[in-house]
A and B are shown apart, each in its own frame.
Chain A
Amino acid sequence: MNIVELEHVNFAYGKSIILKDISLKLQKGKVIGILGESGVGKTTLLSLIVGLLKPSKGRVILNVPEKKIGFSFQTPSFFDELTVEENITYFARLYGLDKNQIEKTKTFLLGFLELNDHAKKLAKELSGGMKKRLDVILSLVNDPHLIILDEPVGELDPFLREKVNELISIYRKRGATIILTSHYLSDLMDICEEFIILKDKTVIFSGTFDNLLSQLNVNYKTQIVLENERDVELFKTIFRYNEALSIRNKVIFLHKDKPLFYKLLLHFIKKNKIKIKEIKVTSPDLRDLFLDLVSKRDTNQKETRSENENQINQTNQTKAKKTILGKKTNSEKEP
């Protein structure tokens, strides 16, 4: 069952288009990660999903009660003049929770995210990390069915990041659907089941990691560890301008998966009697896939752009030739 459906959603503010033609179907009970460069419109997409913003075109279908949505904003959002406890109580009351429920939620969340000692502090007096944790707590006070977390682990240390990820898993087990964005792609890789990648104001990928892997046809990474320093220098001299590999310390990183290049490399190793200590082969991670996808799209775009430009140049050149010829013929005509 789909908890959120977006049909050809466009969003524009004034004349500037922020998102265009977005169609998505998000399944209930999944943890979905949204990836994209900064300013690509991730927060706008999240705001459209929860109904904070209305699409300029298309529609958003939410199959979850309005009061059962939790949202942790990129910038912590609460009342600075209230204490941590007061903020939790106030927002919990807004969602109609009774005293007992509020107390339970408060104890659990404050304890889990280690804010118990700061419960009486004014929100404005908290550190950045604490504020982020309070914001995550506030997004969970109503025991939501759909949790949207915009950069939930930003400004948190690795230990607390782990805690938040653990909390996400707990809510996932309870049956909640979680949509989140994060700059820590390794974290996303660990907890997300599905991914949405945004590029150029639209969704360029939506699906599982395996889908992404198959779509991109990305190679495994190969690293050759050399034994002697002398050999490193040799490699550096010969392959200095070769983009297919890079050398750091005694490790040679192979970037391109070309059989001909591998043959050439083996021949070079054999011929020079280079001693190899170790050969490592690793599968690609989300970061690589994301970068690859984004760079591929950029290259495609550049290629199309350059093709277009070439076409334009060609037509311009022919036009110019024609005019020169025209002029020449005119000048020839002159006495």
Chain B
Amino acid sequence: MISKDLKIFLRNRASLIILFMSLFLLLFLLIFLFNHSEKNLVIAYYEPSRSNLSTSIKNILKDQSINLVKFNDNNSCIESVKKSMSNLCVIFPENLTISENYNGSIKFVIDQSKINLAYYLLDKINSQFSSFTKSKQTEYIDSILESYNLSVDNISKALSLLDQIKEEASKTKNDITHIRLLLSQIDTSSKKLDASKLKYSAYDLINRYNFVMDLTKQTLSLFDDIYDDVDELNKQYNFTEQQVNLSKYKQNYQRLHSDLLTRENDSNQLIQPLIDNVNAFSHYYTSSQSQLETIEQKKKAILSDLERIESKINATLNLTYSQSSLLVSAKRLYDNLPIKETTTLVEPIKTEILPLFNTSSEFVILPSIFSLLIIFSALLFSSSIVVSNNLSRGRLREILSKKKKSYFYLSSFISSWLIVLLELATFVIFISFPLSLTTSQFLMLLLLLFISTPLFLTIGILIGNLSSSKETAAFFSLVLSIIFIIVSGDLVPVEFFPKILKNTLPYIPYEMFKRASFNIIVNNFSEAFNFKVLLMLFLYTLIFFILSYLTFKQGVFRNNLFRFILNQNHKKSDKKTNTKSKKKIKSNAVKQ
């Protein structure tokens, strides 16, 4: 009896083709259903310190109609996902910012068993993140470019100032030479020469000196900015040559700075004595009573003042030259700055995906695969065996044998059970080695299979009894499987469904099987194994067993007899043609 059913199934290619067709249909639906809009999505987050960036990210999530729940520590955030209170846990790093050297990353803790929902959310977040990061990058690059332009501008300004200093300093030196010449030409004994020329020249010198010093002061404030800019640029580009220049620049700057600080005393130490000496010299020179000796003394004093000023100017000139050459090299570096990609210059916000369960992802996906396998194989196998038996004329001869109907029902049931059990047991054995299932896990899975397969088989037999052809039975089985799969959240996250459906979820046989296998494979009985589930599965089996047997007994046998013996379809069509012809005759008679 069973071997007959097995032979019939294996020799029937149609059911095998339908099996593959349904797989393609399922894939098509999967793509179709993911275009669904989200609802009731909850994301838990933990934020050790607030930053503008993290606030912006939270606002992005809120804009996506996602509910955010704050947690005070990592663990409670993760626990909320485990307890299905939230769909994802986001852990922000400390002081989240966007820059080149920032290493912190945002961590997403996902439930691998609800991978579709997790990836749906991650996809949503990531697409927002990438646009957000891009805007931040642009902002950052703009600021770099601005400081770059400013630095280049400052360097140019400083260089022109330094040129001006050089020019003025040279002029100052010329002034000093001119005064020296004037002093040498003065004949102190004759008193014929006018001393006013010397006086004016001295004043010119003093004015020019002060001007040079003012220019130097201006340059100094620019040097401050340039110093900061070059320092910043150096951090970003990390040039060795630049570092060397920078240290020289720094030394120069410091010398210039200290030199300038002493400028305040210059008026007392350098300028004022020169003014006093020139005035005194002029006075003594014009006065008839003045002695030659005193005039000569003042002349010497002026010459010594000039010498001191000259040495100062020389020192300033030297510094200016060296500073100028450093600035030129700095400018050259700026000009030859290599062009970098924005993304390499500023990295996007780093994200990490962490699994909720420590086990490997295969473990987590396995219960779903397992559940899919049981529903497809059980429904399709049993319904196709029942339909092929019911459609076969051999069934008529079976009825004639007067064997009990339960005998035939049980044969279909047991043969389907054997096939499905064999298929699933092979699957369990195959996966138990690479995933290192423990003996208790393995045995528990077999027990679960033993109890659950009859349920799906009886549903399949019921479908087979209600179907008039194999195609219809396969279609029914497929539709029912898809309903089970959708309702249990395998295709579309349960969060997208209304609350009533979510509440009935634990009582749906397919979901019950999936949860039980998840508890065995993934949690390794960490959650107390619910034997009530097994009892409920058994009760469901009993209900469907009775239902399928009743349909088998009442419907199938009667329908088969009428179909085979009376050829009812043929009669019906005959009836139709008869009534049509009768109507025609009637209408003709009326016409006549």
Contacts and interface: CB of A to CB of B under 8 A. Distances in A.
Nearest to B392: A79
B394 A52 contact: no
A295 to B, nearest CB: 23
B194 interface: no
Interface in B152-186: none
Interface in A67-93: 67, 69, 71, 73, 75-82, 86-87, 90-91, 93
Nearest to B396: A77
Contacts of A90: 1, 4
Question: In terms of DSSP, what is the predominant structure of the interface of chain A?
Answer: mixed
Interface residues of A, number: 32
B575 interface: yes
A75 B393 contact: yes
Given A79-B8, A86-B7, A94-B398, A53 B393 contact: no
Contacts of A241: none
Given A52-B399, A94-B401, A77 B561 contact: no
B564 A75 contact: yes
Interface string B482-517: 000000000000000000000000000000000000
A293 interface: no
A119 to B, nearest CB: 16
A18 interface: yes
B590 interface: no
B7 A71 contact: no
Interface in A1-49: 13, 16, 18, 43-44, 47
A178 interface: no
A50 interface: yes
A91 B1 CA distance: 10
B565 A43 contact: yes
A86 B566 contact: no
A71 B564 CA distance: 14
A323 B564 CA distance: 55
Contacts of A87: 394
Contacts of B403: 94
Contacts of B17: none
A122 interface: yes
Interface string B389-411: 00011101111111100000000
Contacts of A78: 393-394, 397
Contacts of A43: 565
Contacts of B402: 66-67
A80 B400 contact: no
Interface residues of B, number: 26
Nearest to A47: B565
B36 interface: no
Interface string A207-246: 0000000000000000000000000000000000000000
Query: In the complex, which of the residues A43, A71, A90 has the most CB atoms of chain B within 10 Å of its own CB atom?
Result: A90
Contact of A91 (B397, B561, B571, B575): B397
B565 A77 contact: no
A75 B402 CA distance: 20
A138 interface: yes
B7 A50 contact: no
A52 B558 CA distance: 9
B401 A91 contact: yes
Interface in B256-310: none
B12 interface: yes
Given A81-B7, A82-B8, A50 B400 contact: yes
A122 B401 contact: no
Contact of A44 (B11, B566, B575): B566
Contacts of B4: 79, 82, 86, 90
B416 to A, nearest CB: 16
B562 interface: yes
Given A50-B400, A94-B401, A77 B393 contact: yes
Contacts of B12: 81
Contacts of A82: 4, 7-8, 394
Nearest to A77: B393
B400 A52 contact: yes
Contacts of B398: 94
Interface of A: 13, 16, 18, 43-44, 47, 50, 52-53, 66-67, 69, 71, 73, 75-82, 86-87, 90-91, 93-95, 122, 138, 142
18 contacts: A16-B571, A43-B565, A44-B565, A52-B396, A52-B399, A52-B561, A52-B565, A53-B565, A77-B564, A79-B8, A80-B394, A81-B7, A81-B8, A81-B12, A81-B388, A86-B4, A86-B7, A122-B11
Given A44-B565, A75-B564, 10 more contacts: A53-B565, A71-B400, A78-B394, A78-B397, A79-B8, A80-B392, A81-B11, A90-B1, A93-B1, A95-B401
Interface of B: 1, 4, 7-8, 11-12, 388, 392-394, 396-403, 561-562, 564-566, 568, 571, 575
